Chains A and B, each alone.
Chain A
Amino acid sequence: EDQVTQSPEALRLQEGESSSLNCSYTVSGLRGLFWYRQDPGKGPEFLFTLYSAGEEKEKERLKATLTKKESFLHITAPKPEDSATYLCAPYSGNTPLVFGKGTRLSVIA
């Protein structure tokens, strides 16, 4: 059975304090790994798709990387508006997507 573990569960950063979120997975035949952002009371919003180990994607202050067993979401010089829950979902080619529990990020000004 596919499993996804995200750590830490919660992270509190000062504005400008860079850090990384982790997504570990056990999936047979990984075809991709997806990152989403979720604001309180709203549905998740797609951020990135990573297809193979070594791949990187960037968007503003976010950079996602992928290895064979985990993915990292690096946040560089975060701002308060980056506060949200970040969800990852590995994709094995079998729908549906299985999401992790997420990391709840708070960025304090």
Chain B
Amino acid sequence: DTGVSQDPRHKITKRGQNVTFRCDPISEHNRLYWYRQTLGQGPEFLTYFQNEAQLEKSRLLSDRFSAERPKGSFSTLEIQRTEQGDSAMYLCASSADVRSGELFFGEGSRLTVL
């Protein structure tokens, strides 16, 4: 296992379509995070899981967004009825212990909504 992997790396979709991103964390990490990043901004927290439990969701996460982590392994982030404002880089990170500050990020999934 060489790190956090995300798929797809790039997605172009039309407004109103649904998209789903997948994240495979480092296998021994029990915490998994989703962040969103737009140009010139730092990563903004969306949601996180400890094992299969979704423990916190940001107010940025509207009803059109849903995240799952079945069996505490990989996670999916689905965006329904995409809007142009959803265009961003969606970053996944995992960690074994958040107190160390070391989140391991994937390379991200870039979404473009036309």
Contact surface of A with B, Cβ cutoff 8 Å:
4, 6, 9, 31-34, 41-46, 49, 87, 89, 91, 93, 95-102
Q: Which of A43, A91, A97 has the most CB of B within 10 A?
A: A43
Our pick among A6, A49, A96 for the contact of B102 (Cβ within 8 Å) is A49
Judge whether B93 and A43 touch: CB under 8 Å: yes
Judge whether A98 and B45 touch: CB under 8 Å: yes
- Main SS of chain A's interface residues? loop
Given known A42-B108, A43-B91, A43-B93, contact A91–B43 (CB-CB < 8 A): no
Judge whether B101 and A99 touch: CB under 8 Å: no
**In the complex, what residue of chain B is closest to A96 when comparing beta carbons?**
B45
Judge whether B56 and A46 touch: CB under 8 Å: no
Judge whether B45 and A44 touch: CB under 8 Å: no
Query: In whole Å, how far is A45's beta carbon from the nearest beta carbon of chain B?
Result: 7
**In the complex, what residue of chain B is closest to A93 when comparing beta carbons?**
B99
B56: A residues at CB distance < 8 A: 95-96
B98: A residues at CB distance < 8 A: 91, 95-97
